[in-house]
Amino acid sequence: MQDFLRNLPKVELHLHIEGSLEPELMFALAERNGIELPYSSVEEAKAAYRFKDLQGFLNLYFQGMSVLRHEQDFYDLAMDYFKRASSEGVVHIDIHFDPQAHLQRGVSLDVVMSGLLSAKQEAEQSLDLSVGMIMAFLRDRPAEEALQVLEQAAPYWSELDAIGLDSAERDHPPSKFVTVFKRAQELGLARVAHAGEEGPASYVIEALDLLDVCRIDHGIRCLESDEAVERLYQKQTVLTVCPLSNVSLNVVDSLTHHPLPALLDKGLNVTISSDDPAYFGGGLLANHIACAQSFGWDEEAFLILNRNAIKEAFTTEPRRQELLARLDVVKY
């Protein structure tokens, strides 16, 4: 099974590129940029990655990304993950990135975008990997700031596939961002949002109704509301579920109790992703292996999940058809 999962062409729709920053690279960039880290070694950093909840993780996530200052740093961050993912059989990734987290530290949007876009271009030329770009807004910051960043990103609108909504979910409902998402719609950008991770099922419904999203990131708490499940089922809105993330952030108490099988039983359009692989114990392959071990799924289950992901990926139609055709001939 592990060989099958490694060789399977896998697609990841939910990945925060800043959450792919491995401690080894964090230390190298800290040294390069003369930045002091609160850890004395890679081991000490890894030992600190035990989280009580989403906010506990976000604190270390924002601290970790403080080593990213220059275009080269963003390029190195993204290429490091693209190479690792590609070596594990990942063929497409839609990346989230958090411009506000960098602007706040005095790092310009041009620095962030040039580094990430060069890495995307390099990966698409030299690796068997396509990359979608999701500019995410921090929901615990003011909506006006998000709108301003969206306008500031005008030179890059054509490079973006979508906008997203992430960071601390509790008490920051989708309704807060209606104006920003309407503006993105006017600009012809797709919309996605984290909802139903730590927040209630009603946020899933709000994201569908008020933000007109084509994708719900996480969404697992939809199971607490028949209405939310029904709405997701009727629209077949894709859910980007991140099993190892949910266990790390205590959204679920163990993988064997994870609601993934229940979501599939309800006929929902489920996919799996790694969210923040450097912090949650592994990338897309590790998430696949963990699911195989915990749920006893057969090969067909993983083909279905990755077919769902390919259909919803932010990529060109020829690439989508190529990836679907490659799944059709996978042997097991």
Per CB under 6 A, 166 contacts ligand ADE: yes
Determine whether the annotation assigns residue 276 to a binding site.
yes
Rounded distance, CA 20 to CA 275, Å?
8
Choose, from 12, 18, 71, 197, the residue flagged as catalytic: 197
Tell me the closest approach of the beta carbon of residue 154 to Zn ion, in angstroms.
Answer: 26
Question: In terms of CB distance, is 54 or 268 closer to ligand ADE?
Answer: 54
Binding mask 295-314 for ligand ADE (x = CB under 6 A): --------------------
Per CB under 5 A, 22 contacts Zn ion: no
How many residues line the site for Zn ion (CB under 5 A)?
1
Per CB under 6 A, 276 contacts ligand ADE: yes
Tell me the closest approach of the beta carbon of residue 166 to Zn ion, in angstroms.
Answer: 5
Binding mask 275-304 for Zn ion (x = CB under 5 A): x-----------------------------
Determine whether the annotation assigns residue 171 to a binding site.
no
Question: In terms of CB distance, is 88 or 140 closer to ligand ADE?
Answer: 140
* 197 annotated active-site: yes
Question: In terms of CB distance, is 87 or 105 closer to ligand ADE?
Answer: 105
Give the per-residue SS3 of the chain: CHHHHHHCCEEEEEEEHHHHCCHHHHHHHHHHHCCCCCCCCHHHHHHHCCCCCHHHHHHHHHHHHHHCCCHHHHHHHHHHHHHHHHHCCEEEEEEEECHHHHHCCCCCHHHHHHHHHHHHHHHHHHCCCEEEEEEEEECCCCHHHHHHHHHHCHHHHHHCCEEEEECCCCCCCHHHHHHHHHHHHHCCCEEEEEECCCCCHHHHHHHHHHCCCCEEEECHHHHHCHHHHHHHHHHCCEEEECHHHHHHCCCCCCHHHCCHHHHHHCCCEEEECCECCCCCCCCHHHHHHHHHHHHCCCHHHHHHHHHHHHHHCCCCHHHHHHHHHHHHCCCC
How many residues line the site for ligand ADE (CB under 6 A)?
11
Tell me the closest approach of the beta carbon of residue 230 to ligand ADE, in angstroms.
Answer: 25
Binding mask 220-259 for ligand ADE (x = CB under 6 A): -------------------------x--------------
The residue ranges that bind Zn ion (CB under 5 A) are: 275
The residue ranges that bind ligand ADE (CB under 6 A) are: 16, 19, 54, 61, 166-167, 194, 197, 245, 275-276
**Catalytic residues, which ones?**
197
